[in-house]
Amino acid sequence: MDYFVAFCIGGVICALVQILMEKTKMLPGRIMVLLVCLGAVLGALQIYQPFVEFAGAGASVPLLGFGNVLWKGVKEAVDQNGFLGIFLGGFRASAVGISAALVFGYIASVIFQPKMKK
């Protein structure tokens, strides 16, 4: 039963994202950033962990889970290092390659003009 729930939750998340991609002018990159930010916000509001305990891997694998991992890392680093932890926590909690992709993706979005769907 647990595998079925995890499968269904992951499928629902994917279906909602697909609907968002088809019904809005948002590009896939922006939707991915939205999911990561939503995972961090849900983690900060302490909603994400009970959701993961209920849904299992179906909730922890998508980009929402990555945002939650970043939030946990920042929270732990702030507790240990104070204000400096805001900048260090996400990098320590996640893989260096993924963190670098986020930083360089953000820099590229600031430098270059993104194009919206028509």
Express each pLDDT in 64-111 by its tens digit.
Answer: 888 888 888 888 888 888 888 887 787 777 766 576 777 888 888 888
pLDDT score recorded for residue 71: 87
How many Å apart are CA 87 and CA 67, to the nearest integer? 15
How many Å apart are CA 88 and CA 76, to the nearest integer? 10
How many Å apart are CA 57 and CA 2, to the nearest integer? 10
pLDDT of residue 3 exceeding 80: no
pLDDT of residue 1 exceeding 60: no
DSSP SS3 for 73? helix
For 112, other C-beta atoms within 10 Å of its C-beta total 8
pLDDT score recorded for residue 70: 84
pLDDT of residue 57 exceeding 80: no
Q: Provide the b/e sequence for 47-58 (b: ≥16 CB within 10 Å).
A: ebeebbeebbbb
Output the pTM of the full model.
0.68
How many Å apart are CA 60 and CA 87, to the nearest integer? 23
pLDDT score recorded for residue 76: 87
Kindly give, in sequence order, each residue whose CB lies less than 8 Å from that of residue 55, ignoring residues fewer than 6 positions away: 5, 6, 9, 10
In the chain, the percentage of residues whose pLDDT exceeds 70 is 82
Mean pLDDT value across residues 17-22:
89
pLDDT score recorded for residue 28: 85
